[in-house]
């Protein structure tokens, strides 16, 4: 599979991940997406407080609504990624997120920005993001040989950590230079870069036969049963869920303590 995934690898030598064009495009696009998401997660609460005079409760609702789609749609997004083209799902998620975020600086320039719009943008971005992420996770094993999967996941995790930190710092810099509304254009650009990189991935995707397609809730139930039956997957799922919950709580609290006047 290595040779078919990327012709640059030669038999008899330990293949390098950086010689896999599809993996490089995947990694570049995902790093751009993570960087941009870190920008908006930092900028949107600042925009709500400084430009729209949001109260403590309103900031809390804004953050809650942004986290609601992943909680409600993650299982459905995974099942959809198993049924349809993963790359198309990723690109659609990127473009929807870019369009939603682009509406914020436009509305601000027209002096029409409202907290209601920010909340709608948070919901749309959250829903599009979970569709993108579910497809991205399931696409990676088809891009590299199985023997390289552990190394590729390590590279992805390391770069994502760097991209998240860089995105927060970039968001603060753009906010200081351009203002919070126009700073979101950095996230819009990141989603466009991610969509472009994903579109250039040239890995074949096998469509599932129509006879194998079952009801969505049945597939979700089978997936939950499978994860629950494997102690390793069950532990990883609980750890990831707890970490995501803690990070969401942290993102809410820093905005409340640092930005909302007492």
Going from N- to C-terminal start, the domains of the chain cover 20-259
At 12 the pLDDT is 47
- Cα gap 160→72, rounded to integer Å: 24
Residue tagged 């991610």 (tokens): 194
Question: Is residue 119 over pLDDT 90?
Answer: yes
Q: Is residue 59 within 8 Å of 257, Cβ to Cβ?
A: no
Query: Distance (Å, rounded) from C-alpha 152 to C-alpha 22?
Result: 12
Buried b (16+ CB within 10 A) or exposed e, 46-84: bbbbeebebebebbbbbbebbbebbeebbbbbbbbbbbe
Please write the tens of the pLDDT for every residue from 205-227: 665 555 455 565 666 666 666 66
The 10s digit of each residue's pLDDT in 78-87 is 778 777 788 9
Task: Name the pLDDT band for 7 (thresholds 50, 70, 90).
Answer: very low
CATH number of 20-259: 1.20.1250.20
pLDDT tier for residue 64 given thresholds of 50, 70 and 90: confident
Among 111-115, 146-150, 236-240, 257-261, the range scoring the smallest mean pLDDT is: 257-261
Answer left, alpha or beta for residue 85, where phi above 0 means left and psi between -120 and 50 means alpha. Answer: beta
The mean pLDDT value of the chain amounts to 79
pLDDT at 102: 96
What's the rounded Cα separation, in Å, for the pair 225 and 254? 37
Of the listed ranges 67-76, 122-131, 170-179, the one predicted with least confidence: 67-76
4 has pLDDT over 80: no
C-alpha–C-alpha distance, residues 241 and 34, integer Å: 18
Q: Does position 24 have pLDDT exceeding 70, yes or no?
A: yes
Residue pLDDT, tens place only, 232-258: 767 876 777 677 677 666 766 666 666
The answer to whether the predicted template modeling score (pTM) of the entire model surpasses 0.75 is: yes
Of residues 165 and 262, the one with the higher pLDDT is 165
């Amino acid at each position: 599979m290595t040779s078919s995934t990327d012709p640059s690898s030669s038999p008899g030598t330990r293949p390098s991940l950086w010689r896999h064009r599809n993996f490089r495009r995947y990694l570049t696009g995902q790093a751009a997406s993570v960087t941009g998401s870190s920008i908006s997660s930092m900028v949107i609460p600042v925009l709500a407080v400084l430009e729209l005079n949001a109260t403590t409760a309103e900031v809390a609702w804004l953050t809650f609504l942004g986290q609601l789609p992943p909680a409600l749609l993650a299982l459905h997004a995974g099942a959809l990624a198993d049924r349809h083209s993963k790359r198309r799902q990723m690109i659609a998620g990127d473009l929807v997120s870019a369009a939603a975020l682009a509406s914020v600086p436009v509305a601000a320039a027209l002096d029409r920005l409202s907290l209601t719009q920010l909340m709608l943008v948070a919901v749309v971005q959250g829903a599009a993001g979970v569709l993108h992420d579910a497809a991205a996770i399931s696409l990676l094993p088809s891009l590299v040989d199985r023997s390289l999967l552990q190394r590729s996941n390590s590279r992805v995790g390391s770069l994502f950590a760097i991209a998240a930190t860089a995105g927060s710092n970039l968001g603060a810099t753009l906010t200081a230079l351009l203002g919070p509304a126009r700073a979101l254009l950095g996230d819009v650009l990141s989603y466009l870069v991610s969509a472009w990189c994903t579109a250039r991935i040239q890995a074949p995707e096998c469509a599932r036969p129509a006879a194998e397609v079952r009801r969505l809730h049945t597939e979700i139930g089978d997936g939950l049963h499978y994860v629950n039956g494997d102690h390793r997957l069950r532990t990883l799922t609980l750890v990831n869920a707890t970490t995501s919950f803690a990070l969401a709580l942290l993102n809410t609290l820093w905005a409340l303590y640092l930005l909302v006047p007492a």
